[in-house]
Structure 1
Amino acid sequence: MLIRKAILPVSLLLSQVTANGGSEFQLEFLSEEPLQQMTASRNVYLVGNTFYLPSHDSLRLIEPILSIFNTPGLRHLQLSRDEAILLVGEIMPGIQSVCPLKMDDRLAGLIVNEPLQATVELDYNEASLRAAVAFNYGHETINPLAAPASDNPEANQNNALIIRRQDQEDEILQLMNQAGFVRQGQHYRLTDQDDIFGFLTTISTQLANLAKISRTPAAAALQVLPAPDVRLGLSLSNDQDSLILRQQFIGLPADERAAYLQALREKRSFIRSFDGNYRRIRLEDRDVLLQLIDLFKLWGVEPGVAECRLPRYRALAMDTLLIQSDTYNMLDIDEAVRTMVRHLHEPGALSFKLPSTLRGKLRPYQKTGFQWLCTLDYYGLGGILADDMGLGKTLQTIAFVARLWQQSRRPSLIIAPTSLVYNWLSEFEKFAPRLPVMILDGNRQQRASRLGEIAEKACVITSYSLLRRDIEDIGTITFASCFLDEAQNIKNPEDLNARSVKQIKADRCFALTGTPIENSLTELWSIFDFILPGYLYSQRTFQNIYELPIIREDSPEALEALHRQILPFVLRRMKKDVLQELPDKIETHTICDMTDEQRLIYEKFLQKSRHELDREVTENGYAKSQIFILALLTRLRQICCHPNLFLPAYEGSSGKLQLLEELLADCFSAGHRVLVFSQFTSMLDIIRREQRTLGIDPFYIDGQVPAEERVSQVQRFNQGEGQLFLVSLRAGGTGLNLTGADTVIHFDPWWNPAVEEQATDRAYRIGQENVVQVFKLYTRHSIEEKIQNLQRKKQHLVDSIIKPGQNLLSKMTLEEVRSLFEP
């Protein structure tokens, strides 16, 4: 007996036989000698007188055949054509090394063992794509959708046995299925347009690596066109007055532009062109392009307009895109536009010299404000100077107006509340005394007669109320600049103030306000409609894209978008932002005019007082007339405050009360808390009454308030309760700690400035963490103004001689007293 470690000496014989009138195949198991399995583990076989120990791998391959033919008496298997093809083409190549397959010559001639040559013929009709797939092996062709050969004997008349590359065929058919093709008879058909586009752009390329693709003329005409090359350009016009926007959709017919943008918005991959072709959509640029297109529509510019002019401020609305545009090839931003945007964000980037006519030194943040105004002017734009009260919006404006006059000798226009008109004149006289400035006031005839003088003035000042009456005349004049003081006066776009102001013609328009928004975002829109008409779009559009989402939906995205859009045109500094540049206490002298009715009463009483003064001094002498003189002066001062203080029947208003109400409204809207001092308790009563009608219930201290109540009110106020504290100068000028306030208003001047200082120190003392703003209110062309001038002249006397309890009157000559009663 022999033992061999070798494969078993077996083979298979395939032959063709005739049975039942047809052709069948027979598979026979051949062994040189009888084969006997010797172990249960089937790893030892006896063939003749030799033991065979085949390897594990060879046993694994031959085991299925041994199992089949292990049945006693079974030596042959009958196979169908498809089974024979399967055996020859797929099974035997894997086991040929351990169990060879033998065939007679005639049968061997029927075997086709050629590489697969697959073809796919495409045709296009009725908006669908038809595909005929064929698998070619040598001269033999197989339609994968045809019935198997065993079911269709006529399909293969020459009885060829084709060795098919099933993996390759399956890969092709999987691609067809992946593309969405469905069987329709002997062909595949694709009808869904998205699937057709996907096949033409992606899968056909993969399929071309596996099969030869041919196209009928109809299919060959079906193209996938490239996405258009979108080019957008932004540059300054030759005259530098506007932007030039250029749009190019290269390769895209104009009649397809709307469909393309709509498909882009819907994130589709293609559109069908009018000639039936498919056009790609470039989704990589989608967000940027749509953002730009939507901006253009808001500006009234249709997509694809080759070239159009836009206001220069539109470059600022594209700020974020300007920053990012280096990453977007389609957006070409001219360097001059980039420079302009950078300058508007960094006012110090351009340097403008302060006018030589300006008197007084600007603090650093005020110089920044001046530079900002000049930068906006340089680029033909307007803006809102929204600094906190007391930071010098007036001085920054005067510096700018003086520079304009120095450069162009053209007038500027300032429109202010009636109560502040003469304060503007006073500030010009203080900071730019050489500038020719005119207040347009008086009756209609007087105002009309002065219109011819406007061209010779650096600045013309008028009120909102007079502008409403004079707009037909003033509206014909073009000013170098126009400033609205307390611009919240045009917060309602429908009222006469706003409609009148927006008829002004000016090269540059600016707004001054500490409260650009008091109650609604429409107020901001109305101010922008003056400084930069159209920048925040129409009122309805503004409400739809900003106001409603912010107010109703509390949308942080809309809020941030609005903030980003207005940022370059609003300069707002709070005291806390420039604390290092400020003194601990800022003092502002604010002057106002009387109302017409108030002025009439004052002039009559002044004339009467002169006669009474002369008679009193003649009869009793100057030294003994001090009390009488003081009484006359007190009456005049009361009229300056409010005629109702000694004329109970008076029902008119007061210029100074109007000024106070303006100041308080500004203070409250900016979050300030205020002390108001007056020596007249009846005046404090009037103020309290007026404030209550506005929903403000002030704290109040005069000489009649018990000590315990005073302490309680002070504690509550210092702990944050309330916005306003009214204090009698005599009752509260000393001994109170009111550091809860950061603003002090002296409604009426006192003879002795030291008394005013003591009152101011109620807020400005140890424990105060904020800069204290002090306003001293004066009435123009009145006893108050004359007392102020005398105090300035005798400042040394006031500082050195007059003690608390004394007053300036006791140190005045008769001539100086008489001057107080001059018209």
Structure 2
Amino acid sequence: MKWTIPEKIIELGRNYVQKGRVLSAEPDYNERIWHAEVMGSKLYEVRLDGSPLEKDWCTCAYWQDHQYCRHTVAVELYLKQKGISRVIDKPTTEFIASRSEVFTKGFSRILAKPAATTVPALALECQVEMVAENLFRPEENLFSLQLKVGFLANKKRLYVVKNIYDFLEMWFLEGNYEINQEKVHLARSAFDEEINGLLLELYGLAKTQQLGGSNANLDRTRFAKRALLLPPQQGGRLLEEMSRLRVLQLKLDKKITRKISFSENKRPLDFSVESKAGGYWLKFQTLFDYYLANYHWGVIGNHFYSFDNQQEEIYLTLQQLLKRFKEQAIAYDKSELLPLFKEVVPLLKKIGTVTVVEEILAELVDEPLALKMYFHREKAEITLRIDAHYGTAIYSTDKKHQQLPTTKKVLRDTKEEKQLAQRFLALGYQETATGMAKTLPQGSALYQFFTQELPFFRQFGEVVLSKALRELFLDAQQFRPQLSIKESDSWLDIHFDISGIDDDEIDAILQRLLNQENFYTMKNGEILSLESESFQQASQFLQQLRHRLQKDTVELKVPKYQALFLKEQEQDFDIPIDWAPSLQQLTLDLIHPENYQVDLPTALQAELRPYQLTGFRWLKMLSDYHLGGILADEMGLGKTLQAITYLLAEKESTDNQLLRAVIVAPASLIYNWQAELKKFAPSLQVCVVSGSKAERQQLLTAAADVFITSYGTLRQDSQIYEEAQLNYLILDEAQMVKNSASKTAQALRDLTIPKRFALSGTPIENNLGELWSLFQIIMPGFFPSKEKFNQLSTAMVAQMIRPFVLRRAKSDVLDDLPEKIEMNIYSDLTEEQKTVYLAHLRQMQEQVAGMDSNAFKQNRIGILAGLTRLRQICCHPKLFIPDYVGDSGKLEQLKELVVTAKENNHKILLFSQFTSMLTIIEEEFQKLGISTFYLRGSTNPKRRLEMVNAFNEGEKDVFLISLKAGGTGLNLTGADTVILYDLWWNPAVEEQAAGRAHRIGQKNVVEVWRLLAEGTVEERIDLLQNEKRKLFQQVIQGDEEQLQRLTEDDIRTILSIGAEN
């Protein structure tokens, strides 16, 4: 059993074994699998892995999420209880069954089973009757349910189940139960399949009532443990099911019913209003035989009807009144006709049909109420008249407009009429002789009148406005906003116009759209709604531009690099935009940089691949438009060569004047750049800026085209570089400045170099904030402030950067690059290693499980240190415990892998985050006669280059590399195997490591082996890495997933804290 399974899951599995819920477990020797069945809330199929890998499987939902569950644990504990090992050893040849034997044996089990007739068929009857009867309020009675059971062969002799709980439990477990002093096997086959379904529901009901104590009022009766209460929520469905299955015996008032139905008729009762001398009769033709308020049921014969709360209140009131009068008809005088039809008949119609004789109907106007509200503008007031229409009869607040019948009585809905009047009073209207009135509102109050108040009243009736009032609210459909965009130096000028509106009001309207306001008050007091489709489109468009705008009256300015963004926004918003011709060409070049017309530099000593030529054109196009970008090609595609080609082209386009470009790279790569420039662009004058500060300052005054420096050196010399009058900035491995708060990032932002580009295969490693930091350096102001940037959707960020980030993958552009094969290789911890690991894991689990989010944040550093210790133990406990005595499963596996690889003439790059682990590996390899290079963080750049060249020329078997020291800038195509000894949180770091061998120049298939200790935090880290790959895909490559840095949830998942059972 895996040691990572929580104790509470093991306890649940143990409980299942004790209750006999493991129904079967049979071995398959050929497949080395145990096939088992476990009874949980339903029957589950379990497969237990008979190999040491313990890769079990279950059909339950919990296993799908966790890869373990109570059912797999129960099967293993069941086997242990019987003294059987879960590991199935391969039997000797003579005992291995052929496929035909296995097939035949499977069918022979059916024949081996006892005949179905050996289990006597049983009959069931469900007796339902009233219990806890309330003589004074019978509608509050409840039903009880008892069971009778007997043999189907003698169905007339059924016996009352004396303990319904024991019976249902034995049925669930398929045990024995005594019926009439005879033990009977309650097998599933003893009952009809549908009866078993009913019993399963009753079993669940019994468990609920046992736990909740809801049978307390049964315990005081003669029923004791023989009965269940029929709950109101399930009662109707259960009764219908019993009736359908013909097992129901329903007893109501000494009358027994075996078949019932629930009717959909919501108004089953019958009433009538008839004439009599001097008045009317209200008669009750059909009423319920019983009404059960707890169930909301009315019963007529064997038909059941469900009532809602209002219907129930009406019927219970009627029932109580009829008890008082003990009559089936109520007499009304002629004078009571209106109260009868206004207050009684409408309620009775909700529970039944009311039949009224024609001569009574002739005395009434019984028409629905239709309200009309007439609004007028009279000087500084809004006046209101309300008319209530009942057919042709009209009641009006202005008596001049009333039209009343002379011979009929009108059934007025005075309640609704009064409620409407109260609503107007609540909104500040005052009563007048002809209706109501209020002061004419201004500004926002007038806008609210038209957009909120009037729509509110339209739900109660028809609203009619006078012409003078209508003209105060302008029809926004008549006014359509338009934009025109022109080029002005490095800016785009956006002019905003609205047809039909004077220029002196447009600026104010624009400001309100920018502020996302809903209306504008014209100078003459008229209201212009800004909520029409065209104005809302304009508002949304402006919101997308808001952080980019430089506003100057009606002229809006945005940086030129927003041209393509604006063009794409034009497609999303239905706004007419007039583009200047020069801007049409700019947007076309941004969309299709591969078509940009530019000549290759004549002095270039290299032949570019097609995708590299596109990369060069992209760089040159952006540069010519005074824009910047990030070349984000996958490692090994020649970003360096593309950048050198661009610099050389710039040199030749300026009549060979000095470029004065600075390349900033990690310290370990500055001499690589020097060598590459010498190789591909020997005509460029190159200067490596190194030495003392005074020497570096002197070097920057040299007549050079390209200066090469490191990030650390530039940070120290930031003031010197600000004064150096440089023209070009190239950042290599630009993810080095992903932290915008770092001093290096700040120093780069302070530079005033006009043309800037970044090179990085991983411009996003952890979060989008890293991308923000890079763009603040290469295109200042491109993104809004950090706070506003964090509010942008990932899709919006991806859309914004698309023209300025060029990313190609090897698989897309290099047909001749050999395949890269990646695989995870798992090892077991040794027993000593496992003991140390489990002790530290449990300590961390207990520590973290008790923390809330605040405590977690306060202890985050300590928790991360604890996770590092667990990872170190997976590598070798000696990294953490110097006096550890014992082996490491992973190290032993590594030695076997490397010895085999050497025998097959493979050359290996081996990465680890832990330099002390690399030292242990180096010592072990020496014992095995395996020769190594070892690249540490302290290795100086020149020695580093010497070792790389020697390894690529065939020296030594293995190149040991610290993951952080050697993850970037190395070209190690002499290797064809990459081993990642331990995992890092961020997959981008591992991708860079693998890219050292899988790049241009590689002739062999490259295998990448990731070593994982099975059943440990390393497996969880592997899952986390898969999530972390998704953000890069989303923003740089266009997928739709999201990434967070190592969060509290990530850590809790790694430690398996908070698993549900």
Query: TM (normalized to structure 1)?
Result: 0.49
Taking CA–CA contacts closer than 8 Å with sequence separation of 6 or more, which of the two structures ends up with the larger relative contact order? 1
The alignment's TM-score, normalised by the length of structure 2, stands at 0.39
Larger radius of gyration: 1
